[in-house]
Amino acid sequence: MKRVKHLIFWLVVIGIILLLFSSHVIAEDMFRQQRQALVDVIKYDVLRTRDFLNQEALDDRVLDALRKVPRHEFVPDDQRPYAYQNRPLPIGYGQTISQPYIVAVMTDLLKLKKNDRTLEIGTGSGYQAAILAELADSVYSIEIVEPLAKQAATNLKRAGYDAVHTRTGDGYYGWEEAAPFDGIVVTAVASHIPPPLIKQLKPGGRMIIPVGAPFMTQYLVLVSKDTDEKVTTRQILPVSFVPLTGKH
């Protein structure tokens, strides 16, 4: 009798394990399908805004990153059902995870190569940093809100992006000891382009930053520095971002 009970116990345990594994596989397959559907929406939106972007499609490497990075791992639990909708989502402390279309466009505009060094200002939940990490080997990210910075580090590690360098600080001043950077992305609107970030941009590098005033007209601006360190800017498209905060 004891042997029978022991056998039944282990059969139940194995059944539970198989059920959990099956549920996990089904969930991951569902998320994978949702990411592909999101990429299809983004491709359409890029085509629709091609006059702003001066291009009709994004780099395939950017689209592959969007297909791979699990956005549901970078949003609060109550927002997971909406993780693959093409819209920003609240992540707490008055901050949001950016609309995937905007993440895709900003990333594409950097024109990153695998051995590039990149800086992100405004880690948020860590999603943009994870996308960057799919394209470049070296990613640094700064978040001024300490609880968000800690949560982002946890999110990145759980999703397998523990090589991303994160820290709490005022992003206006960049990350001088890790500079210069081939690409810089700023995920909060500033009234002007921070001079420390221009200084930390490598000759030949690019920075993408929303410029304007909170709750007023904002534009995504592409900043380019040529090999002679001449800086040029180009407005890309109107956007809406939370403000860049700090002592500046």
pLDDT reported for residue 20? 46
Active site residues: 98
Per-residue pLDDT at 2 exceeds 90:
no
Per-residue pLDDT at 135 exceeds 50:
yes
- pLDDT above 90 covers what percent of the chain? 79
pLDDT reported for residue 18? 41
Poorest-pLDDT segment among 4-8, 37-41, 85-89, 218-222:
4-8
| pLDDT-derived band at 26, boundaries 50, 70, 90 | low
At position 115, the amino acid (one-letter code) is: N
**Can you list the domains of the chain with their CATH numbers?**
30-239 (3.40.50.150)
Tens-place pLDDT, residues 44-102 = 999 999 999 999 999 999 999 999 999 999 999 999 999 999 999 999 998 999 999 99
| pTM of the full structure | 0.87
Strand order in the sheet with 117-121: 165-168, 138-143, 117-121, 181-186, 201-212, 218-225, 231-239
DSSP letters along the chain, please? Answer: -HHHHHHHHHHHHHHHHHHHHHHHHHHHHHHHHHHHHHHHHHHHHHHHTHHHHT-SS--HHHHHHHHHS-GGGGS-GGGGGGTTSSS-EEEETTEEEPPHHHHHHHHHHH---TT-EEEEE--TTSHHHHHHHHH-SEEEEEESSHHHHHHHHHHHHHTT-TTSEEEES-GGG--GGG--EEEEEE-SBBSS--HHHHHHEEEEEEEEEEEE-TTS-EEEEEEEE-TT--EEEEEEEEE--PBP-S--
Poorest-pLDDT segment among 28-32, 141-145, 162-166, 220-224:
28-32
